[in-house]
A and B are shown apart, each in its own frame.
Chain A
Amino acid sequence: DAGITQSPRYKITETGRQVTLMCHQTWSHSYMFWYRQDLGHGLRLIYYSAAADITDKGEVPDGYVVSRSKTENFPLTLESATRSQTSVYFCASSDGEGITDEQYFGPGTRLTVT
């Protein structure tokens, strides 16, 4: 299916475990983003990528690692999950051709760290 997908949609993990959230888009968009959504904070940018092999930190990058070996994929890894990382994670992509471009969001992954 065309669009932007995230997997898994729901994940429960234990403190200290490594977990990877997947994001895949079929539009060949240049830019991809990871946000986390928490009550009282709205959405906050974790990492973004301008192209394959080009990534940069956002507002709240600590505890997260990203990679982008292929344009269509942008996985987010929590190397050692903590309870404070319990959140809903949204991946987004945009053409990036212009700063005006809207971002298309995935359906989100609800992560619970116990």
Chain B
Amino acid sequence: AQKVTQAQTEISVVEKEDVTLDCVYETRDTTYYLFWYKQPPSGELVFLIRRNSFDEQNEISGRYSWNFQKSTSSFNFTITASQVVDSAVYFCALSEAHILTGGGNKLTFGTGTQLKVEL
């Protein structure tokens, strides 16, 4: 069975600090997909990034960057120069490829990391 672990329950930083959110996953599949979602205080879930298991290239999008390492089964998320608006709960999720059964991408979520960015 697949599993996603976000060991950091809550992180507090001061604005402009860099912060890394950890995500460790378990899966038996060789083909899988990893996601990060953001849940701001308003409650909606916002898609941030998707990465497939064959692409270990790190990605940077503005102040956000993601470090995918299959060797350690980790998909960590870094926010550079954090801002108050980054305050949210961040979820890492894993999807296994059910090509034959057509199961779509059923997501297994981690328990989330609450990020608080203070002035």
> Which residues of A pack against B, CB within 8 Å?
30-31, 33, 35, 40-45, 48, 50, 56, 58-59, 88, 90, 92, 94, 96, 99-105, 107-108
Contact = CB atoms under 8 A, between A and B. Distances in A.
Given A33-B106, A42-B91, A45-B106, A102 B35 contact: yes
Given A48-B104, A99-B104, A103-B105, A42 B43 contact: no
Interface of B: 4, 6, 33, 35, 37, 43-45, 47, 50, 52, 91, 93, 95, 97-99, 102-112
B105 to A, nearest CB: 5
A105 B55 CA distance: 25
Nearest to B31: A99
* Main SS class of interface, A: strand
Contacts of A92: 45
19 contacts: A31-B105, A33-B104, A42-B110, A42-B112, A45-B107, A48-B106, A50-B102, A96-B102, A99-B95, A99-B97, A99-B98, A99-B104, A99-B105, A100-B50, A101-B104, A102-B47, A103-B47, A107-B43, A108-B43
